[in-house]
Amino acid sequence: MRPLKMQWNNVEEFMGWWLETRIIRPPFKDTMFTTDFAQSFCLYREGRFQVELYLLKENITTPFHRHPNVDSMFLYLGGNLEFGLPDKTFTNTQEFQKEGEHGAHMLLGKIAVAMDGELHSVRTYDQGGAFLSFEYWQDKDPSSVVVNWDGEYDGPVHIKTVTANEKL
C-alpha cells in the first residue's frame, strides 16, 4: 500500500522524516545509475524528494561538480570516504576511520551538505564507501544526481550514462 503523499518544506525535514520511517519504495522508473566510480540506487521517491544509496569504488576521487537546482544532504554509512567542500578542500576523516558504538563505523550518521547545486566532490580510500543522498529537486522531477551533473565526468561509463539519459 502506497503511503499518503507527504509534504516537506525542505530537504532537512524530508531527511528527518525518512530516517524515522525508513520506508523503502524504489520507483519503477529511473531507479539505478552507474558511473566509473559509483552505483546509485533510489530507495524512495515522493514528488520532488528522494533518497539515493551510493556505493563507491575504492581509491577514487570524483571531479568537483554541481547538481544544478538540487539541495542535497549526504549521510555517511560506512567505508573510508571524505567529502569535498566548495573551496575544493576535503574534510579529513582519517582519524575517525575506526569502530564506533555497537560495532558500527564511528562516522555513521555524520552529514555533509551541498545546497542549491553547491560545488562538491567525494574521495575514497582502500575500502571504498557508502552514503545516502537525500535530495530536493527544485525545478523538475527527480531522476538521479548522477545525470543532473555540471562538471567533468568520472569517465566514459559516466558519459554514456548521462548521454543515455539526456531526456531526464
Tens digits of residue pLDDT in 106-146:
999 999 999 999 999 999 999 999 999 999 999 999 999 99
Greatest CA separation for the chain:
45
pLDDT at 166: 82
On the question of pLDDT at 158 being above 90, the answer is yes
Segment (H or E) for 158: helix 156-164
Q: Give domain status of residue 3, yes or no.
A: no
Model confidence band, residue 3 (pLDDT cutoffs 50, 70, 90)? low
| Number of separate domains in the chain | 1
AA letter at 7? Q
Q: Give domain status of residue 6, yes or no.
A: no
On the question of pLDDT at 2 being above 60, the answer is no
Query: Dihedral of CA 129/131/137/141: which sign?
Result: positive
Angle at 51 between CA 48 and CA 52, to 5 degrees: 120
3-state helix vs strand vs coil in the chain, percent to 5? 15, 40, 45
Q: Give domain status of residue 2, yes or no.
A: no
pLDDT at 7: 86
Q: Give domain status of residue 51, yes or no.
A: yes
pLDDT at 168: 47
pTM, 2 dp: 0.92
Q: Give domain status of residue 102, yes or no.
A: yes
Q: Give domain status of residue 5, yes or no.
A: no
Q: Over 64-112, what HEC string results?
A: CEECCCEEEEEEEEEEEEEEECCCCCECCCHHHCCECHHHCECCCCCEE
Domain housing 140? 11-164
Q: Give domain status of residue 136, yes or no.
A: yes
Q: What is the CATH number of the domain that holds 133?
A: 2.60.120.10
Q: Give domain status of residue 1, yes or no.
A: no
